[in-house]
Amino acid sequence: MSAKIHDVRYRPFTGELRGSTRRAVESMGRWSALRALGARRPWTAKVVPIVLALIALGPAVTVLGVKSLIGGDIAEQLPTDLVPYAFYYTLIGFAIWAYAAIVIPETICPDRRSRVLDLYLSTAMSPFEYVLGKVVASLVPLLAVTTLPLVVLYVGNVFFATDPLGYIGDNLREIPAIIGGGVLIALVYTLMGLAVASLTSRRAFASVGFILLLVISGLVAGALAEVADLGPNARMVNLQALPVWVAQIMIGGEQIDGGDGPFAAANRPDLAPLLIANAVVVVVCCGILWLRYRRRGT
């Protein structure tokens, strides 16, 4: 059986024209995030992010479970906030770091290993859109461990409060502080994770490098503050705590870790140096990403 082509014609596009930047970033962010969370991959790739997210939710679920079990009369005699919001980050710090170390490299390293970056950039997608899509793909899943647990805890505290409206009125400022603090932590860790992952095509190397960066910076900060006796402001090189400290200041509230933990108020630098240090980290990470993706085929 044979076929003949009698005519070839071109028709103008009559559909709706939309901005390419938003669609490109949305598509890149959506599919990269799904892959990082284990979509279309073996079940083992899905378990670790889910387990870490559940660990981050654990303190909130535990507190709310205790309040639901002990009954209203006894609950009224307990402190309204069994776990202060600012202290919550101290409890789940490791889960946040591990989640970032596992999820963020997965959004960018496979592209470098498979050498498909040229393919992306051969389309209308620009390097800026590509990187922005990867930022979205890393930032949104990370919010599940930096913001969602505190939101769940806040909603639960409202539900179990004797006067829910009164609780909201007394703790109204915590709402934007919880959201803003969680977004700040997720953004800083996202940029740090992407900057490290952009230097290698191996996810394992990127994950280990990210964790080592946090651990070594924490050790150096402790040595400068304690051994060299340079004071709390010397801890500004502690990359693992920089965004967390700002989030705790935004939320407010006293620490209950005895003043010895890395996030204790006594060990915290002043707010102005903290803001400057976080801004420097963001600028440096953005600079690394620009250098790595300023040209096609890098």
Is residue 181 very low, low, confident or very high in pLDDT (cuts 50, 70, 90)? very high
Which pLDDT score, from 0 to 100, does residue 14 have? 63
pTM: 0.84
- Element (H or E) spanning 93, and its range? helix 85-114
Number of domain units in the chain = 1
Residues 6+ apart with CB under 8 A from 37: 46, 49, 103, 141
Report which DSSP code applies to 163. S
The residue written with tokens 């889910």 in the block is 50
Give the mean pLDDT of 1-21. Answer: 61
13 domain residue, yes or no: no
Q: Is residue 6 situated within a structural domain?
A: no
- Domain of residue 124 covers 20-293
Please tell me which residue, 98 or 70, carries the higher pLDDT value. 98
Higher pLDDT, 54 or 264: 54
| Residue 61: HSE in the Cβ half-sphere, 13 Å Cα cutoff | 8
Residue 253 belongs to some domain of the structure: yes
Residue 259 has what pLDDT? 47
pLDDT tens column, 190-201? 999 999 999 988
Mean pLDDT of 282-294: 92
Is 9 a member of any domain?
no
Output Rg (C-alpha) for the chain, integer angstroms: 23
**pLDDT value at 3 more than 80:** no
In a domain, 109, yes or no: yes
In a domain, 286, yes or no: yes
Residues 6+ apart with CB under 8 A from 182: 143, 146, 147, 148, 150, 247
Q: Is residue 80 part of a domain?
A: yes
Q: Is residue 125 part of a domain?
A: yes
Query: 231: alpha, beta or left, given left = phi > 0 and alpha = psi -120 to 50?
Result: left
Mind spelling out the 3-state secondary structure of 144-162? HHHCHHHHHHHHHHHHHCC
Reference 25, options 106, 133, 100, 113; nearest CA is 133
3-state class (DSSP) for residue 83:
coil
Asked whether the predicted pLDDT for residue 70 surpasses 90, the reply is no
Q: Is the pLDDT of residue 228 over 70?
A: yes
| Angle value at C-alpha 101, between 99 and 106, nearest 5 degrees | 95
- Give the mean pLDDT of 138-165: 90
